[in-house]
Every structure is written in structure tokens, then in C-alpha cells.
Chains A and B, each alone.
Chain A
Amino acid sequence: MGLQYRAAALAGIVTQFAWGFLEILMFRAFYRADASAFPMDFSALSSYIWLQQSFLALFAAWMMENDIMDSIVTGNISYELCRPISIYNMWYTRSIANRLARAFLRCFPILAVAVFIPNPYGIAAPASLLHFLLFLITLILGLAVTVSFCMLIYVLAFFTVSAQGLRIVFTSVVEFFTGGLIPLPFFPEKMQRVMELLPFASMQNVALRIYSGSMGGYEMKKAVIIQVFWLVAVTAAGKLLCHVAEKRIVVQGG
């Protein structure tokens, strides 16, 4: 679908550029006031923001599959249930594929430009090769956790008729707790410690911070383990709920 509409892709790229610039300008103003008061140095923050904008489609919780919601709300789900595959797996694959397609289309132009923006406003090279590899691994894990979480919302829609309410609550919570608005290190320390254990921190936070080198060796190990834990836990919960939902399904609209 990401490939089917060209204007949408272009508009997305432009939006993300504008957003990235604004965010960096805003933070620059803060850093000017007192750079030592911040937990990340400015160039790491710039990298964080540009990567976040490039890979937005991988992690944005609000980019849910409208088709899936619609199929539950309108009852088109009946066709999906006529297919010889598990709906959980089908939706999961579909979400991942859609996000990858979108991210692929959008990340290169943004990355290409951000690389040429002078330091400290552009994207810096990764801290080391190891950091870069870890970045790739945690990027994939983070995507998987994000999709697992969205799956929970889709499946819950079976029980609530309309998923609109759940979706609004969920997306705003996620946006805040993943470090989508401000990176997690900017939160007060006690709060941050709790937040890092939540599944939301396993989405974009880990990969983006590993890239810019703002995580120590022990922290990285811990973060990856938490990611794997949440991936397994959330997926299992989603599958279980889906199984229950399939048994008590009501097809809406005749």
C-alpha cells in the first residue's frame, strides 16, 4: 500500500523533514541556555531526531492499519476468517510489511540529506561498528514490539465493537512513554528507571539511543533482554486474546 500512493509518500517525507528541523531548532534554544544541564550531547540528540524521523513509519504507534480496524467494525472480517491462515499471523505480517514499505520509501531521502547537514545539527556516524550492528538488531526488535502492541489493540477491537477509544488512549500513552516526544533520558531519573522497564521503552528508544552511543555496555545488554521479554510477552498475550475472540466472534452488518 505504501507503494500505491506516490503523493502520500512525498508528503510524508516533506513533513518529516519539517518536523525534524523544528525539533532540532527547539532543542538548540534549550541547549544554548545551558548545554551542561542536558543528559545527551547535542549532536547525539540530532542523530536521535533524524533517525526517528527516517524510521518514523517503523515505530509510530498511530500508524495503525485502518483496514484491519475496518474489517472488524464492518464485519469484513468474515472473509479473512475464510482463509486457511491464522488471522493473528496474517495481520502481523501485514503490519510489518506495510511499515517496512513505508519506512523504506521515506528513510533514504531523509538520511541522505541529514548526513550532509553540518555537525552538530545533522546525523553523526554511529559510535562504532558494534553500535551500528546493535542498532540494526534493536531496530528490528523494536519494530516487532511495536507491531505486537498494535496487534493487541486490533484484537481488543473484537470485544469493544469500536476501537477508536482504545486507539486514542493507546497512541497518546505510547507517544509519551516511548520517547517519541522527548527522548527518555530527559525525564527525571526515578521516572526514567520505571519507564525503561515498560514495554514502550522497547520500541524506538533502544535503537535510537544505541546508535548515538548514549547507552553504556551494561545498559545495552539489559535493554535488549527487556526487548526480547516484551516481544514474547505481548505477542503471547495477543495470540491468546485472538484465540478467545475467534470463538466468540459476532460478524457485524449481516
Chain B
Amino acid sequence: MITMENVCKTYKIAKRNAGFAQACKSLFHREYETICALNNVSFTINDGEMVGYIGPNGAGKSSTIKILSGILTPDSGKVLVNGKIPQKNRIEHVKNIGVVFGQRSQLWWDVPVIDSFELLKDIYSIPESDYKNNLDELTELLDLAHLLRSPARQLSLGQRMRCEIAASLLHSPHILFLDEPTIGLDAVSKLAVRDFILKQNKIHGTTVILTTHDMQDIEALTSRIILIGKGRILMDGTLDDIKKGNDNNIDETIAELYRAYDI
């Protein structure tokens, strides 16, 4: 179970106007703006749930994921994942979670993907038989067989993303955080990834939290949706709650929702 209670997180950002004069001025005097990335965020997610976490750019989605995975420390509020505070004992915590950051890479750039996987096996101390099973399963479901022996740097974005997702699941985590996992994927891979996530949830009961801008992902995967904007939770409900009486396609509905909340 995952709970967040009144979690706040602020960032300090140095700002200045354009131009040389302004640049010189900022050498001596710097203006900072405090941005409230998360403002009293609270929610509870039960084991085995699949939750879509949506919101416009800069709403605080990734910050939430980073706090839940123990990377960032919240300014205030309480975070509990399976009864424990992620930041307190990061190493114990991350053994049970898998994270995919769609915009970053966890594969070692220069070496073949399979070497990265082997390294992860050692890092997580995954037993040999589990590793083999997981690897076989992932290879088949994500169609990785011909990618494993190439260096990560020579894979296309979509190919790499499939490997990234596999890498995050080698240690059979109970909780999976996916931060925009489908960017750059072609139609076939996208479907494969969605299918795969659904299966993980069904077979292993994995809790999945997914942020995305692709509403089809949300439609295909999640029953529950949390909408965040300007650091606040604005809505927590089902896809039907959002669609309610609206015949437009999902993207337009969401855009309308963003406008209605002025976020």
C-alpha cells in the first residue's frame, strides 16, 4: 500500500531576463523563485491497483514519482510505501520497486544490453533461476531477442525503451513506477508494452503507477485516474468520471478538463 499525506515539495529556481546586461547583473544579484511542485498532495493506492497519474507539463507528476521511489526528500508531509518511509531506508525500499523514467536511460551506454542486465542481476542479487525465468519471459513478451547483444547506444529510442522496461522488471518488483514509458514507441511496441504491463499486473499482482501524456495508455491500462495540476490533486476517480456525458474523444475531454481547472 502506498500513502502520501500532505506532501509538499518546493524547488528554488534562479531566474533572469534575457540579454547580456541581465546576465552580468545576475553575477552579483540573483533572483530566486520558489516553485511549489507539490502542494499538500494526499492519496492512497492499494496493492495490485493500476493508477494513471495525469496532468499537464510541470504539474508535479515526476516529482511525485521521485518522492515515492525515495530519490527526493519531501519538504513536509508523510510518505509510506508498504508501511515504510522510502527516504529513511532507501536501499531496502528500492529492492521492491521498479522504475522506468521514459526520458532517461539506465542501460550502460557502451556495453551490450545483456551485460547491463547481468550487472543488474548482481546489483539486486537476483537468484540465477529467477533471473533466467524473468529474462526469458521479458525477452519473449517485449520481443528483445535480437536486441540483447547490441550496445545500448546503437538502439533506437523505442528499442531501447523496451529494454529499459525489461531492465526495471528483472528483480520482480511489487511496485512499478512508470514515468512516461511509451514515449518514442511505435504502434506495435506500444501495444506490446501495454499488454505486458497488464499481464504483469494480472499475473504478479504488481501495483502500477503510470504517468503519461498518451491518453490511450490510460484508457488501455488504468481503472483509476489521479489528476494533478500546479502541485495539487484535482481529481481522483475513474475514467468514466472524466468522460461523464462527454462524447468527444479522450484527448479533447482531457484538454477541456485542464482548461476547466485552469492548469
Contacts and interface: CB of A to CB of B under 8 A. Distances in A.
Interface of A: 1, 4-5, 67, 74-76, 78-79, 81-86, 90, 246-251, 253-254
Given A76-B105, A78-B66, A79-B99, A247 B110 contact: no
Given A79-B104, A84-B91, A4 B73 contact: no
B26 interface: no
Contacts of B106: 79, 82
A251 B69 contact: no
Interface residues of B, number: 27
8 contacts: A75-B104, A76-B104, A78-B101, A84-B92, A84-B123, A247-B87, A251-B72, A254-B103
A85 B99 CA distance: 15
B39 interface: no
Interface string B93-105: 0110101010111
Interface in B71-121: 71-73, 87, 90-92, 94-95, 97, 99, 101, 103-106, 109-111
B43 interface: no
Interface string B108-144: 0111000000000001100000000000000000000
Closest 8 CB pairs of A and B: A79-B106, A84-B95, A81-B71, A82-B99, A84-B91, A4-B110, A84-B94, A78-B71
Given A4-B111, A75-B104, A76-B105, A82 B62 contact: no
B251 to A, nearest CB: 22
Contacts of A75: 104
Contacts of B124: 83-84
Contacts of B32: none
B108 to A, nearest CB: 8
Contact of A83 (B11, B94, B151): B94
Contacts of B87: 247
B70 to A, nearest CB: 7
